[in-house]
Amino acid sequence: MNIHEYQGKEILKSFGVRVQEGMVAETPEQAVEAAKALNEQTGTEWWVVKAQIHAGGRGKGGGVKLAKSLEEVREKASKIIGMQLVTPQTGPEGKKVSKVLIAQDVYYPGASEHQEFYMSVLLDRASGRNIIMYSPEGGMDIEEVAAKSPDKIFKEEIDPKVGLQPFQARKVAFNLGLKGDAFKDMVKFVSALYKAYEATDSSLFEINPVLKTSDDKILAVDSKVNLDDNALYRHPDYAAMRDLAEEDPTEVEAGKSNLNYVKLDGNVGCMVNGAGLAMATMDIIKLAGGDPANFLDVGGTASAKTVEAAFHIILQDPNVKAILINIFGGIVRCDRVAQGVIDAYQNIGDINIPIIVRLQGTNAEEAKKLIDESGLQVYSAIALQEAADLVTEVLKN
């Protein structure tokens, strides 16, 4: 699950990770109030207005602005709130901004130069262990750093038997070239960050940049926090941070029917049991000359009820010109699934696009007979290639 920057910072702060202080606002008036309160709390006289959406690259799209007076806070907040923010990660349609974070200015001048670093915590799938990945090249896209200067990316692997050790935190601080108070503060920062990662069951922390201020403090200027969906049952308070407005409404609805749905841009919808077969079905649609309109896994039991719910979800997409249902019946009998398809079809009524039903496995022949004799505008197939050929055929018409 993704959460907003301001929510991620709240979580980090609760584990003793120093963050750039800020307050969230939904109107320009609230933004000004937040700026005043921040001034009292931190003494900051400049502020950063940051759009809160679930996507990176917000600065590039004009979603992050410096304000040097309360008047500028109002002006910049009113521009950003309500805007359709397009970043390299949102796609061309962008995302609507409904909240901004008013944050303190942490790039104030002082005794030393400030410095930006990159730091993330994530699972290394090859070793099955968490790693801290960090680089002295902060503030840039880490993919860019990896391509241009891979020697500037460091990794520290955490042994799950003992957790992060102090020597490892010191190594991070040394490799980042820190000394004195900044060194000590970085050791504290890394330890607190890793503790937070584990305790929150996160699947990714990405802090870019981590800042060394001109008075040698280490703090998180941004936060990207992804939480492990499978562990949310342990953290009802974090689960409540889910922002449904950031998600595709059809995907949210599918989730309520226990359907695993991801919307894509193509013209052929699909309904499949099992995630692997669902991806394979998307691939075969492409090879058959179509483009998959979605990923949809109906799960282990494809009953009339789930099939009907899946039909409703797929039919909401106006781009869908045909639907391929691909069920491999194992424990579920194909004739039952076929009956489910027929019932759902009749309940919904006017389905005006061709449906191809491929049922293979237990009682596949009986299922094909049921479909063929139903009198519905439904094509039936048993072999996967047959189904693919039918997709090609209906797209031609």
Considering 10, 137, 156, 206, which one is annotated as catalytic?
206
The footprint of other proteins on residues 258-317 (CB under 8 A) is 260, 262, 264, 266, 272-287, 291-292, 295, 297
Query: Which residue lies nearer to other proteins by CB, 79 or 242?
Result: 242
As given in the structure block, the two tokens for residue 266 are 């193509």
CA–CA distance from 227 to each of 87, 120, 205, 263 (Å)?
Answer: 22, 14, 9, 22
What is the DSSP secondary structure assignment for residue 292, as one 8-state letter? Answer: B
Record the tokens describing residue 350, joined without a space: 């006017």
- The footprint of other proteins on residues 322-341 (CB under 8 A) is 328-331
- Residue tagged active-site, from 5, 6, 10, 118: 118
- Provide the minimum distance between the beta carbon of 349 and other proteins in the complex, in angstroms, as a whole number: 30
Q: Which residues of 97-121 are buried (b: 16+ CB within 10 A; e: fewer)?
A: bebbbbbbbbeeeeeeebbbbbbbb
Residues 228-247 that bind other proteins (CB under 8 A): 228-231, 233-234
Query: Phi and psi at residue 72, in whole multiples of 5°?
Result: -65, -35
Among 40, 92, 126, 150, contact with other proteins (rule: CB under 8 A): 126
Closest CA to 310 of 384, 251, 369: 251
Whether 118 is a known active-site residue: answer yes
Would you give the binding string for other proteins spanning residues 191-220, x where CB under 8 A is met? Answer: -------x--x-x-----------------
In whole angstroms, the minimum distance from the beta carbon of 225 to other proteins comes to 15
Minimum distance between the CB of residue 234 and other proteins, rounded to whole angstroms? 7
| 3-class SS string, 225-269 | EEECHHHHHHCHHHHCCCCHHHCCHHHHHHHHCCCEEEECCCCEE
Stretch that binds other proteins, among 20-28, 43-51, 102-110, 358-366 (CB under 8 A): 358-366
Quick check: 92 binds other proteins (CB under 8 A)? no
Residue from 120, 89, 123 nearest 246 by CA: 89
**Number of other CB atoms surrounding residue 349 within 10 Å:** 6
Q: Which is nearer to other proteins, 91 or 110 (CB)?
A: 91
The bridge status of strand 268-272 relative to strand 322-329 is: parallel
Told to check if 157 binds other proteins by CB under 8 A, we report no
Is residue 48 helix, strand or coil?
strand
CA–CA gap between residue 364 and residue 367 (Å, rounded):
5
Closest to other proteins by CB, 140 vs 277, is 277
**Rounded least distance, CB 263 to other proteins, Å:** 9
Residues that bind other proteins (CB under 8 A): 89, 123, 125-126, 128-130, 143, 159-161, 198, 201, 203, 228-231, 233-234, 260, 262, 264, 266, 272-287, 291-292, 295, 297, 328-331, 360-362, 383-385, 388
